[in-house]
Amino acid sequence: MAPKIKLLQGNEAVVEGALLGGVRFFAGYPITPSTEVAEGMARRLPKCGGHFIQMEDEIGSIAAIIGASCAGAKSMTATSGPGFSLMQENIGFAFITETPCIIVNVQRGGPSTGLPTKVSQSDTMQARWGTHGDYVAIALAPQSVEETVHLTIKAINLAEEYRTPVIVLLDEVLGHMREKVTIPDEGEIEVFKRVKPDVPASWYKHFEITPSLKSPMASFGDGYRFHVTGLTHNEEGFPTADPKKIQAKLDKLRNKIMRYVDDICRVEHDGMEDAHVAVVSYGSVARATRQAVMMARQKRMKVGQIRPVTIWPTHDKLYKQLFDSKALEVIIVAELNMGQLITEIERVAPRNVKVVGLNRYDSELITPQQILDKIREVR
C-alpha cells in the first residue's frame, strides 16, 4: 500500500495520532489556538465508534475524560493556557486516582487571556507544577507536525502504561503550521493495551502497590466495583489517615514514573562531544536552534544542540552525561518565556559551566539569527 501522505497542521496531527493511539473519547471546549483538535475529533470519532462531547467548560472537559477513562475508554482533551489553568484541579484528581488521560495544551501567550493567537512556551512550568500537591508529571513536546502524530501516540501509551495523565505541549506555531506528514499504518505503530486485572474481584485492589509499581486497572462495569476518590487513599481506594499509607501512596505517585525515566524520557542531542557552547530548546524553538547550530558550525564554532522531547520529568543522569565534557563552557537555554526550562538546566548543569537564557516573550518566534548572535556573544 502506498504511504498515506497528508498536508496537515499540528492540531490536525494530534487528531491523527489520537485515533491511531486508540483514543475513543474526547471532551473539549473551544479555545484558540487548539480548537481544530476538537473540530477534528467531532468529525472523526463517531466514524470509528468513538464519542465526542463539547462540554460547558474546560473543568467539565477534563472531568468527563477522567470519568470516561474510569469506564475504560482511552480519553483526551485539548486546550490552551486559560483552559489549562481551569483544568488543573481535576488534573490533580487524575494524578492521585492514577487515571490515564491525555491533555493537549497548545500554548499561547499569557498570563490571563494574554495572546490567544500568538506563540509562547510559558506553560512549561505549569505542565509540571500546575496542580497543587506532590506528584510527578509527564509532558512531551514535538517540534514538527509529523512528530506530533508520533508523540501523541507515545503520550497515550505512557498514560496507559503508567496510569497517569500525560500532557502534550504544543505551541501556537506548531498547532497551526502545515507540513507534509506520512501517516503511519496501524501495523507500523505500537499501541499499549491497558492492563486489566486477572484476579477475582475480592482480591482486586485498584491502587495496588506492586513490585513494578505498575498496577492493573479495572474499568467500571468489569465486575470489580472499586472506589475512586481524590482523598488520599489506601491500596483499596478507601480514604486513609494512616501516615504510613499516605506516604506509600505519594511515594508510589513519584516512583512509578521516576523508576522508568529511561523509558519515558527522550532527549535528542547533536555535536555535544566537543561543543564549547550547547543550545537547549524545545518545540518550535528547537527548529530555529537547528538552523543556528548549522550556521555556527559553518563558521567553525563548536556548538552542540540538546532537544528535550520529554520535557517532564527531567532525566538528571542523562543531562549530566551530556554536560560531562571538558570542552563545554556555556549552555544557552532558548525559550519563548522569561526563563522556565532554564531553572531545570541550571539544576543539572556542572558548576563550572555557565547557563544563560535567550528569552523572547513579545509574541514572536526566536529566529536562528538571534540564537547565532547569542552563541557569538557568549563564546
Report yes or no: 163 and 26 within 8 Å, Cβ to Cβ.
no
Residue 246, Cβ neighbours under 10 Å: how many?
14
Shortest spacing between CB 350 and other proteins, in angstroms: 43
DSSP letter (8 states) at residue 225 = -
Shortest spacing between CB 95 and other proteins, in angstroms: 12
Nearer to other proteins, 18 or 169 (CB): 18
Binding mask 224-253 for other proteins (x = CB under 8 A): xxxxxxxx----x-xx--------------
Nearest to 10 by CA among 156, 193, 141, 116: 141
Binding mask 48-87 for other proteins (x = CB under 8 A): xx-x-x-xxx-xxx-xxxxxxxxxxx-x------------
Distance of alpha carbon 56 from alpha carbon 378, whole angstroms: 50
23 lies in the site for other proteins, by CB under 8 A: no
Distance of alpha carbon 298 from alpha carbon 135, whole angstroms: 44
Nearer to other proteins, 66 or 115 (CB): 66
Shortest spacing between CB 151 and other proteins, in angstroms: 24
Binding mask 87-116 for other proteins (x = CB under 8 A): --xx--x-----------------------
Q: What string of DSSP letters covers 38-106?
A: HHHHHHHGGGGT-EEEE-SSHHHHHHHHHHHHHTT--EEEEE-HHHHHHHHHHHHHHHHTT--EEEEEE
Shortest spacing between CB 256 and other proteins, in angstroms: 21
Shortest spacing between CB 51 and other proteins, in angstroms: 5
Q: Is the dihedral of CA 229, 234, 238, 240 positive or negative?
A: negative
222 lies in the site for other proteins, by CB under 8 A: yes
Nearest to 201 by CA among 222, 172, 186: 222
Residues that bind other proteins (CB under 8 A): 24-25, 27, 46-49, 51, 53, 55-57, 59-61, 63-73, 75, 89-90, 93, 220-231, 236, 238-239
